Structure 1
Amino acid sequence: MNNKPLILVTNDDGITAPGIRTLIAVMCEIGDVVVVAPDSPQSGMGHAVTINETLYCNEITVDDGPQREFKSSGTPADCVKLAVSEILDRKPDLCVSGINHGSNSSINVIYSGTMSAAVEAGVEGIPAIGFSLLDYSWNADFEPLKEHIKKIALNVLEQGLPDGVVLNVNFPKIKQFKGIKVCRQARANWVEEFDRRTNPQGRTYYWLTGKFVNMDKGEDTDEWALANNYISIVPVQFDLTAHHFIHTLNNWNL
C-alpha cells in the first residue's frame, strides 16, 4: 500500500519555468507528484478562469522525474480545477504553486496567478501553499530555497491548515536567510503609470508601468521581513467579508 501523500504542483510562469522544475524536484522527495500547469506564462492573471475559449490539457514529458505532468492552455486557477475534476482520482493531500519568479508579497497577492492557484486549491478543501522568490530573472538561483520549502510543506502535511486558509510564502533574493517570520500582509499598493504611444498605423496604445509604494511601517509585515532578509509566511483567507464592518452597516438607514 502506498502511504505517500499525493501532491499537486502548479504555477503561473509556465510548466517549463525553472521555478516549478525546482518545486517539482523538492515535492518528489516528499510524495507522489502530479503536475498540472499552464503551457505558457500566465503572470498577473489573478483568479481568472477560461469561459469563452476552448480549454486544452495534454499529458507531456518534460524531464526524467517520476511525476505525471499535464500542460494546459488555461490559467493557473483552471489548472487546479482540471486537476481536481478531470485528472486526479482523489483529492490531493497538498497543492503547491510556484516557485514564482518575482514577489507575491503585500498587494501582489491580489494579482498573482501563483497565489490564485493556491487559493483555488483552498476553495476545493486542499491544503495549499504559494511559493515566490523576489527575483524576476529566468536564471534565478532557487537552490537556497529547497530545504525551507520542504520543511514548510512537511509541516502543512503534518499539521494541516484551517478551512479557508492558504499560505503565501515569499523568499528574499539572498543566499542565506535569517530565518522565517510569520507576518501579516503589508498595506501597500502600486502607483500605476501608462506609457502612451502611437503605432505606425496611427493607433494609440499603452504600456503599463509604475512603482510599488509601501505605506506600512509595521515590523510585523511581509515587506518588513523580506527587506530584513527573512522568509515571510502570511496566512491568507479567501473569505473577503469585512466582518468588523457588519455591525456598523446594520445600523445604516437602509
Structure 2
Amino acid sequence: MTRPLILVSNDDGIDATGINILADAMSDLGEVWVVAPATEQSAVSGAISLRQPLRIDERAPGRLAVSGTPTDCVYIALNHALPRRPDLCVSGINHGANLGDDVLYSGTVAAAIEATLSDVPSIAFSQAGRGAMNAELLATWARRIAAGALKEGMPRASFLNVNFPPELSGSSGVRVSKLGRRNYGRQVVAKEDPRHLPYYWLGGSELGFDDMPGSDCNVVAEGHISLSPVDLDLTHYRFLNELRQWDALQPLTDPRLDGSPGDTDV
C-alpha cells in the first residue's frame, strides 16, 4: 500500500528549525517531500514570481530549496517537482504567530492557500512568540492534527490555521477558534542612505489584540492551541444582499444616458 505523500513548506526558509520539526513529525504519517524557500520569505503573502526564473537546489533526496516565495515553492512542487499528487500539504512551523488578520500577510499561510487552490488539504502551523521551540510537543500536536486531516478529510477551498502558544506545555489543549484581530503600530521610518537618497522602512510593534472570546488570539493568550478553519470564499454574503439595494446601482432613468442617439441640434 502506497503511503500518503506529504508536502512540507514554510516561509522561514529551508534551514529553519520549525520546518525540520514539522518534516520529522510528518515522516511517521507518510512519504515526506520538503520544498521550501532557500532564504527567509516572511510576510510575502501569496506573491508569485512571474518576471524572474526560479532555481532549485536539491539539498538531499526529497528536499528542495527554491529561490522564490512560499507560493512559488508549492506551485513548483505540485506542477513539476513531486513524483505524484500529495495527499496533504503542511506549512511551518513558523517562528512567530499567524493570528487573525496575519493570515492576509503570512507566507506560511500562503503556502497552505496555494495548495488549497489545487484541492490539496492543507494546514499552516505557527508558534507565537520568539522563544525556543519545544520540538517534542510541537511534533506531537502537529502529527495528531495532520493525522486527523488525513483521516477525516477537509472541505474543498478550506484549510486549517494552527497557532501554538509561546509556552506550549503538557496542559495545553486544542481549541477550535475563529480568526481574531491583531493590532500593530503602523510606522513608516524615513531615512537617507549614504548617497542622500531617501528610503523607507515599514513596520511597527505588536500592540495586542481585540478581546474576542473564542478567537485564535484569545485562545493562544490563554495558553492553548488555536485551530481555525479558514475558507477561501471571501464573499461577504450579508453585505452582498445589502449592496443590491444601493440607489447608486439602480438602472439609469435619464434617457440621455441610455445609449440612444437622442435629439440633436441642427
> Structure 1-normalised TM-score?
0.92
User: Of the candidates 72, 84, 88, which is equivalent to residue 94 of structure 1?
Assistant: 88
Letter in 1 for 2:227: I
**2: CA distance, partners of 1:214 / 1:167:** 23
Question: Cα offset for 1:213?
Answer: 4.1
Distance 1:237 1:213 in 2: 27
2:137 aligned with 1:144, yes or no?
yes
Which 10-residue stretch deviates more, 85-94 or 202-211? 202-211
| Paired residue total | 247
User: Where in structure 1 are there 5+ consecutive unaligned residues?
Assistant: 62-66
Are 2:219 and 1:225 aligned?
A: yes
From 98, 105, 113, give the equivalent of 1:111: 105
Rounded Cα–Cα distance in structure 2 between residues aligned with 1:140 and 1:215: 23
Distance in 1, matches of 2:63 and 2:26, equals 13
Q: What is the percentage of aligned positions where both structures have the same residue?
A: 40
Unaligned runs of 5+ in 2: 250-266
Query: What is the CA–CA distance in structure 2 between the aligned matches of 1:189 and 1:135, rounded to whole Å?
Result: 15
| Stretch deviating more after TM superposition (81-90 or 6-15) | 81-90
Q: What is the aligned partner in structure 1 of residue 253 from structure 2?
A: none
Q: Does 1:7 align with 2:16?
A: no
Deviation for aligned residue 1:54: 1.1
Q: Which has the larger radius of gyration?
A: 2
CA–CA distance in 2 between the matches of 1:59 and 1:249? 51
**Is the counterpart of residue 162 in structure 1 residue 155 in structure 2?**
yes
Native 8 Å contact 1:107 1:189 kept in 2: no
2:116 to 115, 119, 122: 122
Give the direction of change, closer, same or farther, for the CA distance of 1:215–1:101 in structure 2 (3 Å limit).
closer
Letter in 2 for 1:150: R
**Contact kept in structure 1, 2:44 and 2:106, CA below 8 Å:** yes
Give the drift of 1:34. 0.9
Q: TM-score, normalised by structure 2?
A: 0.88
Per-residue deviation at 1:202? 1.2
SS of the residue 2:54 aligns to: coil
1:52 aligns with 2:76: no
SS of residue in 2 equivalent to 1:36: strand
Q: Is the 8 A contact 2:4 2:86 kept in 1?
A: yes
Q: What CA deviation, in whole Å up to 9, does each residue of 1:191-215 have, x standing for no partner?
A: 3112222222212222223133455
Q: What is the rounded CA distance, in whole Å, between the counterparts of 2:158 and 2:38 in structure 1?
A: 28
How big is the shift at 1:37?
A: 0.6
Aligned residue for 1:132? 126
